[in-house]
Amino acid sequence: DIFCLHFCYKNVINEALAKFTSLWNHHPLRTENNRSPRKLCCRVAAVIERGRLKWTITHVQKTPQLMFQESSALSMKNSEAYCILRHCILKQKIGDRVAIEPGYPLGVDDYYKAGRYNLSKVYFCSSPPDHGTLCRFYTHHADYCYKLPNNLSYEEGALVEPLSVAIHACRRAQVTLGHKVLICGAGPIGLVSFLVAKAMGASKVIISDIYQSRLGLARTMGADQVMKIEENITPLVAAKQIEQLLGCMPERTIECTGVESAIQTGIYATKSGGCLILVGLGSPFVNVPLINAALREVDIRGVFRYCNTYPTAIQMLASGQVNVKPLVTHRFPLEKAEEAFHVARAGEGNKVMIKCDPNDQNP
């Protein structure tokens, strides 16, 4: 199948092969390899999925462009070949600044093949039982590290993660030009969802929250409308108020609280034929006016993290299409991580950063 792939993706493969060959020519094992050239074979094939390269090792005899030693005594191991190829393709090198996509699939399954690897069995560094990243040195799967352009800070690199949630949510919502959008919750996820909805063409975005302080930041960041959800207000009344403030019912609602009453409001508020996206995660069982949604053809869609969003998010940040910097309200050195958690839990700021590099403590 390398020939088939070669044919389909000739340019990409050729580029990769050229780089690989030049690297291989300078590889220390190459000298050993030269001693028994008859046994050369190629063990590498590329599997390309949705424009990204995933390398797998296979066994193809005597491909002219690549020279791998077959004999186990002299061979470059598959893992080494894999590393060299990956470095060629991803263009990563030691010292690169990268944004880490925390979740990567643990194998190739139907979801992975369909490009929806967030639904595969994933390793996700921060969700138990998988370890998190509260440490100075951390090793991660290179395929899920994305080079940061020079004009992006490490903080922006870290915010690629929540931005990815928003991109995935807005893609699932199919937000497009002219849409009016309701965002429930002005936490970090609500705010990045607002930024992405605007970038995707929403004409007006209204954000609701129960805290005025959070709405203040939403306003500063450019929300068209904000709405404080008063205590004891019913979801039906809240939906009516949203319609009045917006001048119409929103075609899209992105629920970023996980709170039952906000989900109910989201259903009542969304225009018939529209779509409600559930990002917020609260109780596993929620009472909702499902029949109201069904009879008005309001689609309800879930969101589980994200997939294929990191390159987009990085481009959006690097080009200035979205500005996430105002989200960061607190910064703590690694030594004060516990304090950072208390601040985050108390909802005092918005995005609380833990800075692991002692030389990078400022924005």
Region near ligand NAD per CB under 6 A, out of 32-40, 148-156, 180-188, 314-322 = 180-188
Region near ligand NAD per CB under 6 A, out of 37-45, 145-153, 186-194, 317-325 = 186-194
Q: Please name the residues in contact with 104: beta carbons below 8 A apart, sequence gap of 6 or more.
A: 117, 122, 123, 141, 143, 144
What mask of x and - would describe binding to ligand NAD in positions 219 to 258, judged by CB under 6 A?
A: ----------x--------------------------xxx
Candidates 98, 184, 242, 328; binder of ligand NAD (CB under 6 A) is 184
18 vs 89: CA distance, rounded Å: 11
Q: Give the nearer residue to ligand NAD in terms of CB position, either 48 or 343.
A: 343
Q: Give the nearer residue to ligand NAD in terms of CB position, either 252 or 305.
A: 305
- Rounded to a whole number of angstroms, the minimum distance from the CB of residue 63 to ligand NAD is 42
What mask of x and - would describe binding to ligand NAD in positions 321 to 360, judged by CB under 6 A?
A: ----------------------------------------
101 vs 106: CA distance, rounded Å: 14
- Shortest Cβ contact with ligand NAD: which residue? 187
Candidates 125, 249, 279, 316; binder of ligand NAD (CB under 6 A) is 279
Q: Please name the residues in contact with 297: beta carbons below 8 A apart, sequence gap of 6 or more.
A: 272, 273
Region near ligand NAD per CB under 6 A, out of 124-132, 182-190, 269-277, 320-328 = 182-190
What mask of x and - would describe binding to ligand NAD in positions 95 to 134, judged by CB under 6 A?
A: ----------------------------------------
Candidates 259, 276, 300, 316; binder of ligand NAD (CB under 6 A) is 259
Candidates 42, 89, 160, 186; binder of ligand NAD (CB under 6 A) is 186
Q: How many residues bind ligand NAD (CB under 6 A)?
A: 26
Q: Both tokens of residue 189?
A: 């996820």
What mask of x and - would describe binding to ligand NAD in positions 138 to 177, judged by CB under 6 A?
A: ---------------------------x------------
Candidates 305, 308, 312, 328; binder of ligand NAD (CB under 6 A) is 305
Q: Scan residues 198-217 and list those touching ligand NAD (CB under 6 A).
A: 208-211, 214
Region near ligand NAD per CB under 6 A, out of 47-55, 142-150, 259-267, 284-292 = 259-267
Candidates 9, 123, 124, 304; binder of ligand NAD (CB under 6 A) is 304
Q: Give the nearer residue to ligand NAD in terms of CB position, either 198 or 214.
A: 214
Q: Work out the end-to-end distance of the chain between its first and last CA atoms, rounded to an integer number of angstroms.
A: 49
3-state secondary structure the chain: CHHHHHHHCHHHHHHHHHHHHHHHHCCCHHHHHHCCHHHEEEEEEEEEECCEEEEEEEEEECCCCCCEECCCCCCCCHHHHHHHHHHHHHCCCCCCCEEECCEEECCCCHHHHCCCHHHCCEEECCCCCCCCCCCCCCCCCHHHEEECCCCCCHHHHHHHHHHHHHHHHHHHHCCCCCCEEEEECCCHHHHHHHHHHHHCCCCEEEEEECCHHHHHHHHHCCCCEEEECCCCCCHHHHHHHHHHHHCCCCCEEEECCCCHHHHHHHHHHCCCCCEEEECCCCCCCCCCCHHHHHHCCCEEEECCCCCCCHHHHHHHHHCCCCCCHHHEEEEEEHHHHHHHHHHHHCCCCCEEEEECCCCCCCC
Q: Decide if residue 280 touches ligand NAD (CB under 6 A).
A: yes
- Give the footprint of ligand NAD on this chain (CB under 6 A): 165, 184-190, 208-211, 214, 229, 256-259, 261-262, 279-281, 303-305
